Amino acid sequence: GAVVSQHPSWVICKSGTSVKIECRSLDFQATTMFWYRQFPKQSLMLMATSNEGSKATYEQGVEKDKFLINHASLTLSTLTVTSAHPEDSSFYICSAVLGGGYTFGSGTRLTVV
């Protein structure tokens, strides 16, 4: 079936550095990708919606300059956490619209030390 490949699955970075998370749709074209953030034992909170070839739409309270989203092709969307700080440590998941439903990446565990 259709798969969204998300990389890396986990990353540890130093405070102040930037981290890029990639989501690739492997056998379909993802015109829309959603990026979620999940805190421990909590639900998935929508961060932003990215559409291929246009600027991402960010949810209220999400800093667009900190969480840079690029959706330059129909098979690749990236989330870059810039100048990461320990409070950015979280589990990030992408999701693509597919048919009448959604398919999710496997998630990225980001730890900022």
Partner 1 sequence: AQSVAQPEDQVNVAEGNPLTVKCTYSVSGNPYLFWYVQYPNRGLQFLLKYITGDNLVKGSYGFEAEFNKSQTSFHLKKPSALVSDSALYFCAVRDGPAGNTPLVFGKGTRLSVIA
Q: Which amino acid is at 44?
A: L
Is residue 49 part of the contact set for partner 1 (CB under 8 A)? yes
> What are the C-alpha distances in Å from 77 to residues 16, 43, 52?
23, 22, 8
Is residue 69 part of the contact set for partner 1 (CB under 8 A)? no
Is residue 25 part of the contact set for partner 1 (CB under 8 A)? no
* Residue of 44, 54, 76, 79 interacting with partner 1 (CB under 8 A): 44
Is residue 83 part of the contact set for partner 1 (CB under 8 A)? no
Shortest spacing between CB 44 and partner 1, in angstroms: 5
**Would you say the C-alpha torsion 49, 16, 40, 5 has a positive or negative sign?**
positive
Rounded to whole angstroms, the Cα distance separating 94 from 92 reads: 7
Rounded to whole angstroms, the Cα distance separating 102 from 32 reads: 10
Q: What is the DSSP letter of 43?
A: -
* Residue of 11, 20, 22, 32 interacting with partner 1 (CB under 8 A): 32
Q: Which residues bind partner 1 (CB under 8 A)?
A: 6, 9-10, 31-32, 34, 41-44, 46, 49, 51, 91, 93, 95, 97, 100-107, 109
